[in-house]
Amino acid sequence: MGAPPAPSVGIQALIGSDLAERGGVQYTELAARHVLNRCNTDRMPDCWTINPYRGCSFGCRYCYARYTHEYLGQRDPLAFERQVFVKVGSPELLASEATERRLRARPIAVGTATDPYQPAEARYELTRGILEVLARYRGLDIGIVTKSALITRDIELLGRIHARSRLHIGISLITPYRTLARRLDPGAPTPERRLRTVQSLAAAGLDVGVLASPILPSINDATRDLELLFRRSKAYEARWISVGPLFLASGSRRHFLAWLADAMPRKLPLYRHLFASGIDVDPRWERGLRRRVAVLRRRTGLPEGSARGREPASLQLVLPGSGERPESSSPRGKAPSARR
């Protein structure tokens, strides 16, 4: 792994005042300069990404997006979940930078480096404001990824978007077991709650599926557990289920392996072996996963993606530093600093 990026003085200068502190999470203003960020990587081909927050209080152990705080010079991986930056003014800025031609040029992925419906959204409503802007247009291709039941607050708005554009919603769920979910996604809703969220969105006629990514070797990859996840997803009316393996990049590797050493030390040698060559898991393990998943698809009839188009861009699909510009913000009224 390379060294984390050097803190950017320009980016650090973008941080505004503290807004609130709740439940051990500090919310801090970060004024947005761009809302639409273009991403084009092997894992996530040409699309717009929109992330109204930076950081995420759900604090998933495997979250790749911790690198976004490193760009702010914050090397403590826990800062990602304890200090959430709120990109105030994002809906207004999107309204000013969006045109139908621009928005239609490529798919739009909402929530690729943060959960757009994490607890901050209940207070700041930036995701809702952004979706209100997107609802003005027709013919867009929009994907949303979340673990949060808060998305059901916006069902009527999502229905309006669905009627005019292609909208795919992925509810992120990697295990049907509450105890394991509590260990892996400590701040996120229980699996039952997430499945009820799938059911509510499906009942509203929305295109919703389960995003079972990342699958972690020897932790949530047992065939019987995957089969239960498939069957529960189907029982709760998921239209599709998308499965992807863990990858470990940048700060996420240090954080995840340190957590693993503490929480499941006997698995550490296996991970060192399977991830010996870098970010991606050993391809033989991945091929084995894909074979087992293919069998489960045949058994349950759940396809890989939406019948209306591609499944939403996954949180596990963007390679840090290889396309997405995390520096999408600048102080209001100041000239933009150099983009990375």
Binding residues vs ligand SF4 (CB under 6 A): 56, 58-60, 63, 65, 114-115, 147, 188, 315
Query: Could you tell me the smallest distance in angstroms from the CB atom of residue 112 to ligand SF4?
Result: 9
Residue number with CB closer to ligand SF4 (114 or 329): 114
In terms of CB distance, is 63 or 134 closer to ligand SF4? Answer: 63
Minimum separation from the CB atom of position 73 to ligand SF4 (A): 20
Instruction: Find the shortest distance in angstroms from Cβ 19 to ligand SF4.
Output: 19
Query: Could you give the CA distance from residue 196 to residue 237 in angstroms, rounded to a whole number?
Result: 9
For the CB of residue 146, give the shortest distance to ligand SF4 in the complex, in Å: 8
* DSSP 8-state symbol, 297: H
Of the pair 48, 137, the CB lying nearest ligand SF4 is at 48
d(CA 39, CA 321): 10
SS3 124: helix
Q: Return d(Cα 217, Cα 245) in angstroms, integer.
A: 8
Query: From the CB of 113, what's the least distance to ligand SF4, in Å?
Result: 7
Residue 158 CB, nearest approach to ligand SF4 (Å): 19
- Sequence-ordered strand ranges (E) for the chain: 15-22, 25-30, 37-39, 47-50, 53-54, 83-86, 108-110, 141-146, 166-172, 208-215, 241-245
CB of 56 or CB of 98, closer to ligand SF4: 56
Contacts of 314 (CB under 8 A, 6+ apart): 44, 112, 145, 170, 211, 213, 242, 244
- Minimum Å distance from CB 55 to ligand SF4? 8
If the CB atoms of residues 120 and 238 are measured against ligand SF4, the closer one turns out to be 120
**Residue 328 dihedral angles phi and psi, to the nearest 5°:** -100, 20
Name the minimum Å distance from CB 56 to ligand SF4.
3
Buried residues in 232-267 as b, exposed as e (16+ CB within 10 A): bbbebebbbbbbbbbbbbbbbbebbeeebeeeeeee
Distance CA 277, CA 149 (A): 37
Nearer to ligand SF4, 135 or 243 (CB): 243
Strand order in the sheet with 241-245: 37-39, 47-50, 108-110, 141-146, 166-172, 208-215, 241-245
Nearer Cβ to ligand SF4, position 121 or 154?
121
How far apart CA 38 and CA 33 sit, in angstroms, is: 14
Which residue number, 28 or 165, has a Cβ lying nearer to ligand SF4?
A: 28
